[in-house]
Amino acid sequence: MKLITPSIVSSPMFAFLDFEASSLSKLSYPIEVAWVFEDGRSESYLIRPAQQWTDWDVEAEAVHHISQEMLQEDGLPHDVVAWRMVEQLSGHTLFASAPSWDGKWMSALLRAAKLPRHALRIRDPEEARAEAARRILAPVVSPERLHIEIDDLLNLVDVRREEGEPTHRALADALDEHRHWLDVVAAATALAGKAEGG
């Protein structure tokens, strides 16, 4: 797997992140990572494990379909991926659908590469959706009604979205979070247009 070098992201953006891991045990480690910036640019990497990472769960492999052989043959060294993440994601706001798990795996990756484990932080994507709605609606909705309109809009988008099973591949799941955020942006923009039109 080759390292991608996209154009440098200059201004701070939202980025939607996802990891796949060796298992769900305490000793689990990241085996794949992907992120999607709010403008749609993305990167995805299989991660060749650090020498001290030995945990493996065949049931987890049956879910994500990433084998240890794939990681050795196609993965990038864990430290290369960690440095790439810090290089590309520092200064941006990161969101992942399972912040505690994804945060654990990101921390393991950064520590193994001898990088500060808090170099990057992950938030819940619900915050990204609420923030996007607030940014769009605040200029046209009264402060008294703003939180009600945002809650209603987020619930409406959730209901309209087709609930599918996660694919358990990092890029596909990160793209799904990005699409969810875009759905909120579109719905909020439409609502703001109606409010402005009276």
- Count: domains in the chain: 2
Residues 162-175 pLDDT 10s: 766 677 899 999 99
Cα 49 to Cα 20: distance, rounded to the nearest angstrom: 12
Q: E-assigned strands of 96-138?
A: 122-123
Cβ pair 169, 32 in contact under 8 A: yes
Residues with Cβ < 8 Å from 192, sequence gap 6 or more?
A: 136, 137, 139, 140, 141
Domain boundary among 68, 96, 123: 123
CATH of the domain at 77: 3.30.420.10
27 & 115 share domain: yes
What is the pairing mode between strands 14-21 and 42-48? unpaired
The amino acid sitting at 6 is P
Name the residue range of residue 78's domain: 14-123
User: Is residue 45 within 8 Å of 32, Cβ to Cβ?
Assistant: yes
Burial degree of 177 (CB within 10 A; 0-12, 13-18, 19+): buried
Same domain, 21 and 119: yes
Report the phi/psi class of residue 158: left, alpha or beta, with left for phi > 0 and alpha for psi in -120 to 50: alpha
Whether the CB-CB separation of 111 and 117 falls below 8 Å is answered with yes
Taking CB atoms within 8 Å and a gap of at least 24, the contacts of 37-41 are 37/9, 37/13, 37/92, 38/13, 38/14, 38/178, 38/181, 39/13, 40/178, 41/6, 41/7, 41/9
Residue 95: pLDDT over 70: yes
**Based on the domain organization, do 116 and 49 belong to the same domain?**
yes
Q: Is residue 174 part of a domain?
A: yes
pLDDT at 198 over 60: no
69 and 154 co-located in one domain: no
Integer Cα distance of 33 and 37 in angstroms: 14
Q: Are residues 105 and 159 in the same domain?
A: no
- Indicate whether 4 belongs to any domain: no
Q: Note the pLDDT tens digit of each residue in 6-56.
A: 445 568 999 999 999 999 999 999 999 999 999 999 999 999 999 999 999
pLDDT of 94 reads 98
Mean pLDDT of the chain: 92
**Is the domain of 117 the same as that of 136?**
no
Q: Are residues 145 and 91 in the same domain?
A: no
